[in-house]
Amino acid sequence: MSGKPKLYYFDGRGKMESIRWLLAAAGFEEEFLETRDQYEKLLQGGSLLFQQVPMVEMDGMRMVQTRAILSYIAAKYNLYGKDLKERALIDMYVGGTDDLMGFILMFPFLSVEDKEKQRAVIVQKATSRYFPVYEKVLKDHGQDFLVGNNFSWADVHLLEAILMVEEKKSDVLSGFPQLQAFKARMSSIPTIKKFLEPGSQRKPVPDDKYVETVRRVLCMYYDVKAN
């Protein structure tokens, strides 16, 4: 285990996408899970501590549990604040963004009818509960970033969430001028700009092929219900 971090997951977003965002500047390799046999091999080899992916090979470790992986990457690349207070704020903002993204994560696995219901839920939650918080934070301190006026994990996570919600409603930021400016600033950061360009390792909106692959590899034969 040396060189660039190596990611083990499906060829799609899911829980790995936030990890890809944080690693965009460092670069990484990927092994896509396409068959049940690949997954079973990882299980039998003891690589999946809790029998689940994402899994990342990095710095001589095989890391699982998305939050632990993200925390490690954020700390390694100085995206986790300068002290405990800033780290607590970053954790708080990331936790809120995670809650919002949780409404989006299972969206591809819903029925057509449930997708329409969930789309409305996602937009409602974003515009009434989550985006107003970040809008106020940015307005109150008048700085470019959420914590300590320094680029952090919280900013990367929020931009990812904004773009995901915009895929559900393109004008969702119309009532949030601070977030519009934040999105523009973040998108112009060279590493982020490169990750947003066509041909990068950023994954597209999950399609039917992705859904079928995940169901096959994980033996997901039940119906997912909307929140």
Residue 1 confidence (pLDDT): 45
Q: Is the Cβ–Cβ distance between 33 and 8 less than 8 Å?
A: yes
Q: Which residues of the chain have pLDDT under 50?
A: 1
8-state DSSP, 5: -
Residue 45 confidence (pLDDT): 93
Domain 84-189, classified CATH 1.10.10.10, yes or no: no
Q: Is the Cβ–Cβ distance between 55 and 48 less than 8 Å?
A: yes
Residue 204 confidence (pLDDT): 96
Which residue bears the tokens 């918080």? 133
8-state DSSP, 107: G
Q: Where in the chain is the domain with CATH 3.40.30.10?
A: 6-77+197-218
Residue 169 confidence (pLDDT): 97
Q: Where in the chain is the domain with CATH 1.20.1050.10?
A: 84-189
Domain 6-77+197-218 fold is Glutaredoxin (3.40.30)
Question: Which residues fall within 8 angstroms of residue 51, CB to CB, at 6 or more apart?
Answer: 43
Half-sphere exposure of 202 toward its Cβ, with a 13 Å CA cutoff? 19
Which pTM was predicted? 0.93
